[in-house]
Structure 1
Amino acid sequence: MDLTKDLIKNDFKKKLMNLYSEDITESSKLHLYLALGSLVREYASEKWMKTNEQYYKKQVKQVYYFSMEFLIGRLLGSNLLNLGITDLCREALKDLGINLSELEEIENDAGLGNGGLGRLAACFLDSMASLEIPGHGCGIRYDYGLFEQKIINGYQVEIPDNWLRQGNVWEVRKEDKAVIVKFGGTVIPAFENDRLSFKHENYEAVLAVPYDTPVIGYNNNTVNTLRLWSAQTIDKDFDLDSFSKGEYSKAVEHKYSIESISQVLYPDDTRIEGKILRLKQQYFFVSAGIQSIIRRFKKNKLPISLFNEYISIHINDTHPSVAVAELMRILVDEENLSWEDAWHITTNTIAYTNHTILSEALEKWPIDLFKKLLPRIFMIIEEINRRFCNEVREKYKDEKKVYDMSIIADGNVKMAYLAIVGSHSVNGVAKLHTEILKNKELANFANFYPLKFNNKTNGITHRRWLMEANPKLSNLITETIGSDWIATPNNLIKLLAFSKDKSFQDNVHRIKQNNKINFAKYVKDKYGIAIDTDSIYDIQVKRLHSYKRQVLNIFNILDLYYRLKENPNLDIIPRTFFFGAKAAPGYYLAKQTIKLINTVANKINNDNSINEKIKVLFLENYSVSLAEKIIPCADVSEQISTTTKEASGTSNMKFMMNGAVTIATLDGANVEIYDAVGSDNIVIFGMKKDEVLAYEKNKNYHSYDLYNSDPRLKRILDNLVNGSLGVINSEFSDIHKYLLANNDEYFVLKDFADYVRAQNRIDQLYRNKSKWREMCVYNIAHSGIFSSDNTIKQYSKEIWNAKGIHVDI
């Protein structure tokens, strides 16, 4: 479709009239946004239909990316960008007296994810569509996101994230594609036609209804699909008989019980009810997704024995690991394949990405819980485990090795082990992470399956995080080196020729400064706090977890504050420290860290004696849309996790791409950033991998030694519990205990002195304007290698064996 400004104007007015019987003068901004979103989706509809049609007709191999999270953020801006009509649409709306940017702010962030796991999944979908790779997402359509974060008296307070309250203009409900997912009940084995079969009885049936969202490729005709499943009742969802008897709660009890499956992202699992619900969620979307894939596959009239040649299922972390057993169940119980044939198909269809070495994230489920909720699936896992243990026993003749590698052991079903055994590829997400997986955490499996393990360093979509989030910088890059970097992001390296060019440096700085001014206005409007736009914007925004060490950051801030109290004329570049993070509702220490950050911010921001040389701000309810505002204005990117604990990180890549200088440990993908830009263009501190692993192995780290030997640490830690921060003495006693009595699990105190040194180096580097700006350009120039386009090309070639296909219109 060839769009013009006039055509968009006419289409928009018609859409507004058809949807709401309104003209522009009487419409609310919400109705204007919904009408525009509906129109944009309509513009993509022909491509969406043709994409599905040609995938079917040409019988291409398709990839299905299973993930508990898809942190897609807002879609209006990215869809306009990928359709190539942003400027045209902006001009058309301007003629009608409408500001496109204001309408973009109306859209709610989709409540479909929490952190890097979900954002990676969203970037991967964007890259697959933009590279014309037939790839789709499969997840859950949560009624409510993780939660909406409010900061009240410094504490995190969670309220429901009702992101669907104004509807979702991008999705299409496909009730005719619904499937049934079964929980509980009993499984009866029987011989039928000389074959052992299994009959599932007395189960709870849940209707999984798909909602499809278009995933629009950039500057092409590909529109892939994100399919999200909603849990609903099969039969009546309202018990009129109970209602008539006055039993009003009972009348809707069954409906609410079923719908709770897709109600909330990551329900609190500190209690057994939460654990059951989490396992239900995982099996729910996995079963629905695989049933849907097989149904679509069979429409092609291809034999099921060829399934793995046409389908690749990728499981994003351990949450969808039950896919191994579910695919086996369908192939054996419903398609009547032999175990051996089904296992061949399953292991050649499924691939697994591991995202963490933290034991808490390598999911395991109590046998009794698992067996009761998923009886047939448990039987299949038992058989997978029996056969696998026999293989291990045969190879090693070592019963301890068999026990250590068993999928079912210690009263638990170990989901990461199931994923490894049942897949043909296991990848880490950064070189260091993969090395640790192979040599330490999963060494037994890496030795047993030496060809399965591989690395695929994470990436980010440069379309969202540079072109959309920072259009002025994107335009400057195009004016300077041409537009080929958009299709081939590695060509950003051409900017190296301009890293010392004063004119280019000044232009990059001017854009950064304008972004800082705009964000300062946002902060002033939202928080009432004035920010020095000439200060260094020092930013740490990511999920709140002890290993990410927000506490280390705040300790440096306190040390700097105490130095300023002693010498208000201390010669430092003014610094504004930004934090943004959500803590899991049941993670008390993380929530106390948020309280600490806000307490320190309140004390510093209201102390006139330090001449406003530093300020601290906690950004409430961190989200994708907020990230798009703050990342383009960052001077310093805080990537300070304990070495060996961060799998990869992707915020490091986003900040780098927007010209921030990274202060970092050599952890996760920070190592590869360091390798790319060199020691002159990143500030490194802290223990290296071997030091951390040695301390953990030898158990010879004693945090009290540092407390007693470093007066700065002693003052900071003492002040946590003596009331000097303006709160009761016991407010931060748990943080104090965690770092001293519990011996500082993530080596905050050990890395403190080197972190302070690194922060002082940042201050000195920033004074040399030419050098600092050269560093910014150098980072942008090297960021193209971290585009998710590169990552997806590797996945497609080395794991999925999926090829791009041009969609003809």
Structure 2
Amino acid sequence: MTTPTDTTCTIKPADDNRPKHERIRTGLSKHALQKAFNDNLFYIQGRFREVATRNDLYMAAAFTVRDRLLERWLKSARTFKEHNSRTVAYLSAEFLIGPQLANNMLNLGITDTARAAGDELNLDFDELIETEEEPGLGNGGLGRLAACFMDSLATLQIPTIGYGIRYEFGIFDQMIVDGWQVEKGDTWLRNGNPWEIPRPKIVFPVGFGGRVEQYRDDHGEMRRRWVPDLVVNGVAYDTPIMGYGVGNVNLLRLWKSEAPESFDFQAFNVGNYYGAVHAKIEAETISKVLYPNDEPGVGKELRLKQQFFFVSCSLQDMIRLQLGIAGSLDQFHEKFAIQLNDTHPSLAIAELMRLLMDEYRMPWEQAWHITQQSCHFTNHTLLPEALETWPIDLFERLLPRHLEIIYGINQRFLDEVRIHFFADETRVRCMSLIDEDGGRRLRMAHLAAVGSCAINGVAELHSNLLKTTVMRDFNDLWPERFHNITNGVTPRRFMVVANPRLTRLITKTIGHDRWIRELETLRALEDYADDAALQEVWRDIKTANKRDLSNWLGQQTGCLADPESLFDVQAKRIHEYKRQHLNILHIISLYQRLKNDPHADITPRTFIFGGKAAPGYFLAKLMIKLINAVGEVINHDPQVNGHLRVLFMPDFSVKNGQRLYPAADLSEQISLAGKEASGTGNMKFSMNGALTIGTLDGANVEIREEVGADNFFLFGMTAEEVQQRQAAGYDPRALYNGDIEIKSIIDLIHSGLFSHGDTELFQPLTDNLIYHDPFMVLADFRAYVDCQKTVDQAFRNPASWNRMAILNVARIGKFSSDRAIKEYCERIWNIAPAPIPL
């Protein structure tokens, strides 16, 4: 990893003669932080205190912290370059890194000192943290996982560059208007981003369209070259990623698209004002928005452009770095371990081949060896509709040379398949990189699998299903390439920053804070699980966190929740397979019980939902409307609202998740078994002492194994039972007609009670359940309701509940992203730590 030469000069800061802890730009003492804050407010923001806005104060604080990262960052970069350290290149379309101020102070070890410094300067420390905009660089679990991995890679001292896109408008801001999701542009950059450093000299051209030409090179050999008809530039923006308690700082390099010439002076002179900036508009569109709606053709084209744009820039950057160090690309695969985070970066396979062959004149065999040994592929889904494919005609129009290369890869690959699976043309058709059924399409997961030396799933169940379902043929061909690495999340963000009350209690109880880096040492908490005094303090902390969340939700929604009630939380992307509608059916069943018997013995609950639906996903948006509609009725019905509340947290994000995870009593992980790859929200909730109600899906299986079956509320069919029932011919209409409670709930929705008399509003959702039910909500309903009755009884025994919560936290160590990264290093990347001394 390198940085431009002007950042590696040996000029010392002006205050270098001060004692190290007092240096204004790097010192960690209270006085140094105060002096640096005042300097940054004055010299960077151009403000004096009396006229400074909240954002001015936040920016001054952020630059103060960033200054302290830079010294370690540049030292890391120089050391990695001098030692030619093997480096992870983590390619991901998303990096949902979350707010940085609190996290970076934690990693620097200055949180308490900074708070004391702020108090003396009459700064509201919590207000500063709240002011920070969340970087809109991701959508959900995929991007959050990438961010957790970046945190762990730095903490474990693994040289890493994360590569992605600098989206100008990230995942949309979600507003709830009349119960409906309304999308608003996420202008996260409007007030500036103090954590990034533009690198205007690190620029790479990226082409689209055009034609492929054949020519003879200087040695008379026939070669191919791509002549694109559109070229945009990718400009680097760098963000330091600090490890916890170490000297290592890694690099997140994001690419912004720009036009090579942003202004056509001649067009402007003749009055063509739009034409004068047309190239700029077209180029900048590529990095404008995260996940544009891909239902229309132009949306599909833009997403394909985005994917190629960032992998091309990233590979050109890696080649630049390798040539700068070694002068040759022969050992490129020994320098870089490229990890493809799902199928979005799969084009790296074809682009690296093109660069090596067309630009650096390598023969096919050598280029393929380097490409395959460099790349590793993480699969994140089993849902067929989520396995990316691209129409061949679109692909050929945008990337004609890459399609030629993919055809070449496919031809050689299928020859291998024909030999290995002798006379099995069915295998040949199923494994081909080109899907010939129903319109020719390019299978991106197949391209990633063929072009990588390792393929991994993200939970034991997911990896096993991967090998027996969607990638069975590939596993039969190359069983040695398949691995499982169960996901994990960072305890720094989701325990220490999000839940400082619990953090202090854990540290005091077990007598050390090593658990922040060695989460498995939380096992020491088991010895205190039956301690009545600890249980009482534990409950007080949970109640305080619930009160904080209730107050915030009250401000956002106008509806307060009782902190003494059971906080039942489902927060994740809104999708049919996540089964938020199963949760809602249960809520309506409770509502019916209370309306039919006002004295029904039901534990008071606050149901909290959070999550966004894709803008073009009609049924998911209708689910949000139903959640809010049911909440509107229940929350305004005095007969039941002392027992039940239903709240929807608007604009769920990392920042809002940090409010939610510490306050949850019950974590809803209720997807149909065999559909969720892993899940990471399940881990975040458990880390904060929430108990899980869930199916044997994704990482739920392993969480239950770790925390103990007695500390997990299990219901529902297994993945095998799901397959058997589907194979036997699943008939949801029979369940609707045969189960009085299911029928009464769906009929109540049909009646218009939750839609102001409109009997058709929710019919697409209920018809889908009755006549299709692809995720078998009705099949699991009875088991879910019965399990919720067990939850109801368990919550009435505080000592037992708190014991279970303590054991959940004590046994959650496996699900640290540190453990996951260690497994990647040992089993896939073959890479060792490169410590940077503090």
Task: Return the alpha-carbon distance in structure 2 between the equivalents of residues 376 and 107 of structure 1.
Answer: 44
Residue 579 of structure 1 is matched in structure 2 by 609
Amino acid in the other structure paired with 1:739: L
Tell me which of 226, 229, 232 is aligned to 2:255. 229
Secondary structure of the residue that 2:325 maps to in structure 1? Answer: coil
CA distance in 2, matches of 1:746, 1:38: 48
Give, as a single letter, the amino acid of the residue that structure 2 aligns with 1:214: P
State the match for 1:191 in structure 2. Answer: 216
| Partner of residue 659, structure 1 | 689
Contact 1:568–1:611 (CA<8 Å) still a contact in 2? no
2:789 to 760, 764, 773: 760
Q: Look up the match of 2:64.
A: 39
Decide whether aligned partners of structure 1 residues 403 and 726 sit closer, same or farther in structure 2, where only a CA change above 3 A counts: closer
SS at 1:610 equivalent: coil
1:155 matched to which residue of 2? 180
Secondary structure in 1 matching 2:657: helix
What does 1:70-219 align with in structure 2 at a 5 Å threshold?
A: 70-192=95-217, 193-219=219-245
Question: d(CA) in 2 for partners of 1:540 and 1:29?
Answer: 33
Whole-angstrom CA distance in 2 between matches of 1:261 and 1:246: 27
What secondary structure does 1:221 align onto? coil
- 1:519 deviation in Å? 1.0
Counterparts of 1:13-24 in structure 2 under 5 Å?
13-24=38-49
Matches within 5 A, 1:719-730: 719-727=748-756, 728-730=758-760
Aligned to 2:571: 541
Could you tell me the percent identity over the aligned residues? 45
Matches of 2:201 and 2:278 in 1, distance apart?
A: 26
Aligned counterpart for 1:640 among listed residues 650, 666, 670: 670
Q: Offset at 1:124?
A: 0.1
SS at match of 2:710: helix
| Alignment correspondent of 1:792 | 821
Q: Where do residues 352-367 of structure 1 align in structure 2 (5 Å cutoff)?
A: 352-367=377-392
* Aligned equivalents of 2:754, 2:836: Cα separation in 1: 62
**Which residue in 2 is equivalent to 1:428?**
457
The answer on 1:710 being equivalent to 2:710 is no
Letter in 1 for 2:427: K
Alignment partner for residue 404 of structure 2, among 374, 379, 395?
379
Range with greater deviation from structure 2 (322-331 or 641-650)? 322-331
SS in 2 for 1:177: strand
766-775 vs 116-125, which deviates more? Answer: 766-775
Q: What corresponds to 1:477 in structure 2?
A: 506
Matches within 5 A, 1:318-397: 318-397=343-422
CA–CA distance in 1 between the matches of 2:541 and 2:107?
23
Q: Choose the corresponding residue for 2:310, options 282, 285, 310.
A: 285
The one-letter amino acid paired with 1:764 is Q
Contact 1:179-1:208 within 8 A present in 2 as well = yes
| Equivalent residue, structure 2, for 1:747 | 776
Query: Is the CA contact 1:37–1:170 (under 8 Å) kept in the aligned structure 2?
Result: yes
Residue 496 (structure 2) pairs with residue 467 (structure 1):
yes
Cα deviation for residue 302 of structure 1 reads 4.8
Letter in 2 for 1:209: V
Question: Is the counterpart of residue 599 in structure 1 residue 599 in structure 2?
Answer: no
What are the Cα deviations for residues 751-777 of structure 1, in whole angstroms up to 9, with x where unaligned? Answer: 011111111110100111111010000
The separation in 2 between residues aligned to 1:593 and 1:494, in whole angstroms, is 42
- The one-letter code sitting in structure 2 at the alignment partner of 1:702 is D
Cα deviation 1:89-116 (Å, max 9, x = unaligned): 1110110000111011111111000110
Q: What is the letter of the counterpart of residue 402 of structure 2?
A: I
Instruction: Report whether the alignment pairs 1:670 with 2:695.
Output: no
* Structure 2 gap ranges (5+): 1-19, 22-27
In 1, are the aligned partners of 2:457 and 2:485 still within 8 Å (CA)?
A: yes
Query: Given that residues 47 and 56 in structure 2 are in contact (C-alpha distance below 8 angstroms), is that contact kept between their aligned partners in structure 1?
Result: no
Alignment partner, residue 88 of structure 2? 63
TM-aligned CA deviation for residue 641 of structure 1:
0.3
Which residue of 2 is the match for residue 249 of structure 1?
274
Q: Do the aligned partners of 1:145 and 1:162 also contact (CA within 8 Å) in 2?
A: yes
Q: Structure 2: how far apart are the matches of 1:775 and 1:754? A: 22
Aligned with residue 643 of structure 2, among 603, 610, 613 = 613
Instruction: Find the aligned partners of 1:85 and 1:320 in 2 and give their Cα distance.
Output: 37
- 1:202 is displaced (CA, Å) by 4.4
Give the alignment of 1:626-637 within 5 angstroms: 626-637=656-667
CA distance in 2, matches of 1:562, 1:387: 63
* CA deviations over 1:309-362 (Å, ceiling 9, x no partner): 111100000000001111111111122111111111111110000000011111
C-alpha distance 799-302 of structure 1, shift in aligned 2 (>3 A): farther
Counterparts of 1:661-700 in structure 2, within 5 Å, are 661-698=691-728, 700=729
Q: What is the deviation of 1:24? A: 2.0
Residue 36 of structure 1, CA deviation: 0.9
Distance of 1:197 and 1:455 partners within structure 2: 41
Asked whether the 8 Å contact 1:640–1:665 carries over to 2, the reply is yes
- Alpha-carbon distance in structure 2 between the residues aligned to 1:568 and 1:223: 59
Shift of 1:611: 4.7
Q: Provide the TM-score with structure 2 as the length reference.
A: 0.95
- Asked if 1:502 corresponds to 2:502, the answer is no
The answer to whether the 8 Å contact 1:50/1:808 transfers is no
Residue type at the aligned position of 1:64: A
Q: Tell which deviates more after alignment, 649-658 or 714-723.
A: 714-723
Residue in structure 2 matched with residue 448 of structure 1 by the alignment: 477
Q: Please give the per-residue CA displacement for 1:691-739, whole angstroms capped at 9, x wherever unaligned.
A: 10112333x1100111011111111112222212233111011101211
Verify the 8 A CA contact 1:287 1:326 in the aligned structure 2. Answer: yes
Matching residue's letter, 2:434: I
Alpha carbons of 1:502 and 1:689: their partners in 2 closer, same or farther (altered >3 Å)?
Answer: same
Equivalences, count: 806
Displacement after TM superposition at 1:504 (Å) = 1.2
Deviations 1:605-628 (A, max 9, x none): 000112520000011111100000
C-alpha contact 2:133 2:188 (8 A) present in aligned 1? yes
Output the CA distance in 2 between the equivalents of 1:378 and 1:716. Answer: 52
Structure 1 residue 603: Cα displacement: 0.5
Superposed CA deviations along residues 535-578 of structure 1, whole A, max 9, x for unmatched, are 00000000011000000000000000010001111111110000
Q: Distance in 2 between matches of 1:19 and 1:312?
A: 38
TM-superposition CA deviations, 1:501-559 (whole Å, max 9, x none): 11111111111111011111111222221211100000000001100000000000000
Q: Distance in 2 between matches of 1:119 and 1:301?
A: 34
The whole-number CA distance in structure 1 between the counterparts of 2:641 and 2:443 is 55
Amino acid at match of 1:711: I
User: Structure 1: any 5+ residue segments left out of the alignment?
Assistant: none
- The normalised TM-score by structure 1 is 0.98
> For residue 800 of structure 2, what is the aligned residue in structure 1?
771
**Alpha-carbon displacement from aligned partner over 1:280-309 (angstroms, at most 9, x marks no partner):** 000000000000011001111253221111
Give the aligned partner of residue 433 of structure 2: 407
Separation of aligned partners in 2, 1:182 and 1:611? 59
The question of 1:491 aligning with 2:517 is answered no
| Equivalent in 509, 525, 528 of residue 558 of structure 2 | 528
1:260 is matched with 285
Distance 2:252 2:492 in 1: 18
1:516 counterpart = 2:542:
no
Is the CA contact (8 Å cut-off) linking 2:635 and 2:641 kept in structure 1? Answer: no
Deviates more, 1:215-224 or 1:473-482: 473-482
Partners of 1:140 and 1:433 lie apart in 2 by 28
SS in 2 for 1:604: helix
Secondary structure (helix, strand or coil) at the match of 1:668 reads coil
Q: Which amino acid aligns with 1:425?
A: A
What residue number does 2:15 align with?
A: none
1:785 CA displacement = 1.1
Distance 2:270 2:582 in 1: 60
TM-aligned CA deviation for residue 584 of structure 1? 0.3
